[in-house]
Structure 1
Amino acid sequence: MRLAVIDGRATLLTTEGRLDVESASDGRFPAEVTGLFDRWSEFRAWAADYRPAPATDALPAPDTLGPVSPRPAQILAVGLNYVDHAAESGFAVPEAPIVFTKFASSITGPFGPLTLTGDSVDWEVEMVAVIGIGGRDIAAADAFDHIAGFTVGQDYSDRDVQFLGAPAQFSLGKSFPGFAPVGPVLVSPDEMPAPEQTVLECTVDGELMQSAPLSDLIFSVPDLIARLSAVVTLMPGDLIFTGTPPGVGFGMTPRRYLRRGEVVRASISGIGAIEQVCV
């Protein structure tokens, strides 16, 4: 399944073309994607009748695409989940997932302006898991049954705010408006490439900053689902930012942060790309 939100309406991208979910289902399912997550098992079974469009197909116009989960009850984000990113940040490899939140008001669509909040705004491309079927104490072996799909996310971070005080305040520094763009589409787990073939990349003005396969994760997605759901009740539509690979500006010498006018592009194999212009 490849699902997009086009002009606010849930739309399947299929080999037959774009199918408005509400119209194609004769009103059985709502146009708003949030309503689909509440009935994900039923919707997934219905959508299985349609063959997903290839990942290489052209997407709708950028200004028509919205976030694939615009109002998640929870956003759980995992820090230092790549060995080399932990090293460049000056931290030891974690023995357990380092978890923080991005507040829901930071969610935005996959394309558009990024308002810089200061001189230390950094990029962090991440694969984001979207929960379809919630629950607690989910076994790692069952994790993919609970995931609606995957999408591209940016965990933008104002480093000055993030590291203001001791201990650091991760959540505030990562939750300014527009600091959590997600999209351009939601791709079901069965349509994703193997982890070693799922490459995350981020460029700034065309310069490659980050590139790593998903297989480099310290804690895999099923492991994260199991560990998180042992504590938190996961809910339909929740977002899990799974971590960023090395190559962030904070880890460079000298440090390198975003400047007005620069274009940030984040992409993941099998999903697509999102893009922001710094203003």
Structure 2
Amino acid sequence: MKIIRFLDDSRNERLGAGYRDGSAELLDGGLFDGPVPTGRRAVVDALLAPVAPANIFCIGLNYREHARETGAGLPRHPVVFMKPTTAVAGPGGAIPLPKCCTRGPEVDFEAELAVVIGRTAKDVAEEHALDYVLGYTAANDISARKWQKHAGGGQWVRGKGFDGFCPLGPALVTADEIPDPQALGIRTLLNGRVMQESSTADMIFPVARLISFLSQDTTLLPGTLILTGTPPGVGFARKPPLFLADGDQIAIEIEGIGQLKNFVITR
């Protein structure tokens, strides 16, 4: 099922499926309780991020070709950082260029497959890890590179945690519709031009291994979001570098999930 989270024409938050022509079939029940189709449709006034995450874990340097384009060696263990939940933005939402980015252009894009945990997970074996997945969505790990690399004391959270720096959507696709998360095409389009194009098969650490690794001695609550890394083609690695600017439209496309489109504004 492709599940959307949205505001109806009375500005009530709803869950829906079968989104088309500005409306969706209403679902009964919570996202983690097995929502059931009602047969009733409602107007979609605004799409929201398909999940309000409990926590957001992110993985850096998890595509072989991306690691090579940055000049980094392949990591022995997953490179983990986090984003605040306040960074989340929905489909069609704005990505504000932070006022504190005062040293020239630096805001970059990263297409990512996002995993949504559906039930509490701790010390999960890799062979059982996908059983804990509710579904998948597309994410854009927006990154202010100068803050990330030179002003965070070696930590990435500052450069990746500004408001609007975690767009999600357009829908949450339940795990039964994506039996193999390592076989999905993924790409980024900037103003209609392809910037990134790859496959999740290039991941160094597959989704199941990431879930197992992150759950070691750590509780992953329902609604935990895991951004699984980005393929090659990011802006800072290009020659010359290419960064987001006011008025840009950025779209993330993942096979079987759809297109997540956002626009860039000057704050």
TM-score (norm 2): 0.87
Counterpart Cα distance in 2 of 1:262 and 1:114: 10
Is 1:114 the counterpart of 2:95 in the alignment? Answer: yes
Contact 1:193 1:269 in 2 (8 A): no
1:11 to 9, 12, 16: 16
Contact 2:109 2:142 in 1 (8 A): yes
Q: Which runs of 5+ in 1 are unaligned?
A: 23-28, 30-34, 51-59
Q: 1:195: how far off? A: 4.6
Counterpart Cα distance in 2 of 1:166 and 1:205: 30
1:247 to 233, 249, 257: 233
Counterpart Cα distance in 2 of 1:250 and 1:142: 37
Letter in 1 for 2:6: I
Q: 1:202: how far off? A: 0.2
Counterpart Cα distance in 1 of 2:247 and 2:123: 45
Counterpart Cα distance in 2 of 1:253 and 1:131: 37
Identity %: 37
Contact 1:193 1:270 in 2 (8 A): no
Is 1:157 the counterpart of 2:143 in the alignment? Answer: yes
1:98 to 68, 79, 98: 79
What is residue 64 of structure 2 aligned with on the other side? 83
Q: 1:221: how far off? A: 0.3
What is residue 56 of structure 1 aligned with on the other side? none
Counterpart Cα distance in 1 of 2:54 and 2:183: 31
Contact 2:152 2:158 in 1 (8 A): no
Q: For 1:96, what is the secondary structure of its paired residue?
A: coil
Contact 1:163 1:170 in 2 (8 A): yes
Q: 1:194: how far off? A: 4.2
Q: Evaluate the alpha carbon distance shift between residue 220 and residue 114 of structure 1 in structure 2; reply closer, same or farther with a 3 A threshold.
A: same
Q: 1:74: how far off? A: 1.2
Q: For 1:5, what is the secondary structure of its paired residue?
A: strand
Higher share in helix: 1
Cα deviations across residues 140-198 of structure 1 (Å, max 9, x unaligned)? 12122111100000000001111124742211111111100101111112212645641
Counterpart Cα distance in 2 of 1:232 and 1:250: 33
Q: 1:73: how far off? A: 2.2
Letter in 1 for 2:48: G
Q: Evaluate the alpha carbon distance shift between residue 14 and residue 6 of structure 1 in structure 2; reply closer, same or farther with a 3 A threshold.
A: closer
Q: For 1:21, what is the secondary structure of its paired residue?
A: strand
CA-based RMSD: 2.2
Match runs of 1:217-232 below 5 Å? 217-232=203-218
Counterpart Cα distance in 1 of 2:262 and 2:48: 13
Q: 1:115: how far off? A: 0.8
What is residue 69 of structure 1 aligned with on the other side? 51
Letter in 2 for 1:13: G
Counterpart Cα distance in 2 of 1:231 and 1:85: 29
2:119 to 120, 128, 133: 133
Letter in 2 for 1:77: C
Greater shift after overlay, 157-166 or 198-207?
Answer: 157-166
Cα deviations across residues 201-226 of structure 1 (Å, max 9, x unaligned)? 00111111001111111100001111
Contact 2:121 2:215 in 1 (8 A): yes
What is residue 54 of structure 1 aligned with on the other side? none
Greater shift after overlay, 193-202 or 238-247?
Answer: 193-202
Is 1:36 the counterpart of 2:31 in the alignment? Answer: yes
TM-score (norm 1): 0.83
Contact 1:83 1:218 in 2 (8 A): yes
Contact 1:199 1:213 in 2 (8 A): yes
Segments of 4+ in structure 1 off by > 3 A? 193-197
